[in-house]
Amino acid sequence: MKKTIIPIGPYHPLQEEPEFFMLTVEGETVTDVDVQLGYNHRGIEKLSESKTYDQSVFVVERICGICSTSHPFAFVRAVEDIAGIEVPMRAKYIRTIIAEGERMHSHLLWLGLAGHFLGYNTVYMWVWKLREEILDVMEIISGNRNNYAMFRPGGVRRDINPDDIPLVLKKIDKIIPTLKMLFKAVRDDPVLHARTKGVGVLTKEEAIDYSALGPTSRASGVARDVRKDTVYGAYHEMDWDMIVTQNGDVFDKVVVRVLEMFESIKILKYCFLHLPDGEIDANVKNIPPGEGIGAHEAPRGETFHYVRSDGGNGPVRHKVRAPTFMNLPTYKATVKGAKIADASIILAAIDPCYCCTERMAVQTTRGRRLFDGRELIRLSQQKTAALKRKLGIDQTMLEKLTQGRL
């Protein structure tokens, strides 16, 4: 059967991150997907070779805006692994605080986007307003809402002022009751269940074969978390649970992320209340020749950095691997057999580090382009509205929750 490929073109005025998926469709069911990447390739690995270690931390921080701490954390751990440097305890606690704050803001952002794709626009606005509390916390500590510039090989760059801690704890406590209500609504909403349960299932074998990471793998029953598997930061100083569910569908991925936020709050509060005194920097002067590997659990999975040094000022080779690189191929396995209306929510469930669903194009086997990304999202929202009518529900629990709460 002759296929015509109609290019949509990756540069669209409304697009946030460019990248291109092409779904092959028969009737209403998706049969295949082709991913084309590389529009955002900036050559950071090559750039690192001309920078010193301290300068590389800043370059690496700007790889991603949402998970901006995970890359410096992994890089700095890799450099410390080369030389076997031990970081002071206070620096470890501060690093953990920054990393968990980032996890909170990233998961809240994702929750808002998932709401938008499913048609709950009020949830989208409302969760992002909640996210402002965490961004205020990060601004009080580090001065910026996103790229915090707190890492350096050997420790952290800036200290936390103890006078700020009571205000920060108050802000964190403000989030907890709303988060609890949100979780109850997600758990009990029948429309949400109908949209997400059994949709986009990633089996355990596939998760292992594709080396899926982060919440994508934990939702499929594969218990992997760098924070538990390796001893680093302050994660082994307190009790917290790794959230693992068994079904691997979109609903499980939502549940995993929401519950992870509660664990993050636990870790944050412990760290703020038990911040030890001491140095914040090990004053590293020289990195000997060798190789080092550093990993960190970003909100999306494990970030992996490999650094090779020859004793000079900067890295000779720096390999960066973001978690989405391993998670994206799983989209091929999860979207096959799904309906077009679900394609955007299945992609969002692996939380790719970009808003790529706008970029999707659909191509039928007869070669006619049917929908582009925005229309796919609209299809998804229409499906929710139709479900509500079928179940005789006027307002879902989530909508009742957010009514008049802005």
Per CB under 8 A, 54 contacts another protein: yes
**Considering only residues 8, 208, 355, 370, which one is a binding residue for another protein as defined by CB under 8 A?**
208
In the complex, least distance from residue 229 CB atom to another protein, rounded to whole angstroms: 5
**Residue 203 near another protein by CB under 8 A:** no
- Per-residue binding letters, 33-52, with another protein (x by CB under 8 A): ----xx--x-x-xx----xx
Q: Does 231 bind another protein (CB under 8 A)?
A: yes
Specify whether the CB–CB gap between 150 and 156 falls below 8 A. Answer: yes
Cα–Cα distance list, 72 to 43, 55, 187 (Å): 17, 11, 35
Tokens for 336?
A: 């096959």
Determine if 71 is a binding residue for another protein (CB under 8 A): no
Binding another protein by CB under 8 A: which of 130, 149, 355, 393?
149
Question: With b meaning 16 or more CB within 10 Å and e meaning fewer, what string describes 314-349?
Answer: bbeebebbbbbbbbbebbebbbeebbbbbbbbbbbb
CB of 191 to another protein, least distance (A): 35
Residue 329 touches another protein, criterion: CB under 8 A:
yes
Residue 11 found at the interface with another protein (CB under 8 A): no
Q: In whole angstroms, what separates CA 211 from the centre of its chain?
A: 16
Q: Is 55 one of the binding residues for another protein (CB under 8 A)?
A: yes
Q: Which two tokens stand for residue 66?
A: 């949402």
80 interacts with another protein by CB under 8 A? no
Site size toward another protein (CB under 8 A) is: 42
Nearer residue to another protein within complex by CB, 112 or 294? 294
Total residues found in the chain within this entry: 406
**CA–CA separation, 375 and 324 (whole Å):** 25
Q: Is the distance from CB of 187 to CB of 245 less than 8 angstroms?
A: no
Q: Buried b / exposed e across 352-380, counting CB within 10 Å, b at 16+?
A: bbbbbbbbbbbbbeeeeeebebeebbebb
Q: Is 121 in the site for another protein (CB under 8 A)?
A: no
Residue type, 105: H
Q: Nearest distance from residue 112's CB to another protein, in Å?
A: 27
For 354, which DSSP code?
S
Sole window of 86-94, 270-278, 289-297, 335-343 interacting with another protein (rule: CB under 8 A) = 289-297
Nearer to another protein, 128 or 210 (CB): 210
Using CB under 8 A as the binding rule, whether residue 210 contacts another protein is answered as yes
Q: Which of residues 297-326 bind another protein (CB under 8 A)?
A: 302, 304, 306, 308, 316-317, 319, 321, 325-326
CB of 404 to another protein, least distance (A): 36
Half-sphere exposure of 333 (CA within 13 A, CB side): 22
The β-bridge relationship of strands 360-364 and 20-26 is parallel
Place of tokens 């909403």: 189
Q: Is 1 in the site for another protein (CB under 8 A)?
A: no
Per-residue tokens: 76: 């700095």
With binding defined as CB under 8 A, does residue 283 bind another protein?
no
Positions that interact with another protein (CB under 8 A): 37-38, 41, 43, 45-46, 51-52, 54-59, 62, 81, 84, 147, 149, 208-211, 224, 229-231, 290-291, 293, 302, 304, 306, 308, 316-317, 319, 321, 325-326, 328-329
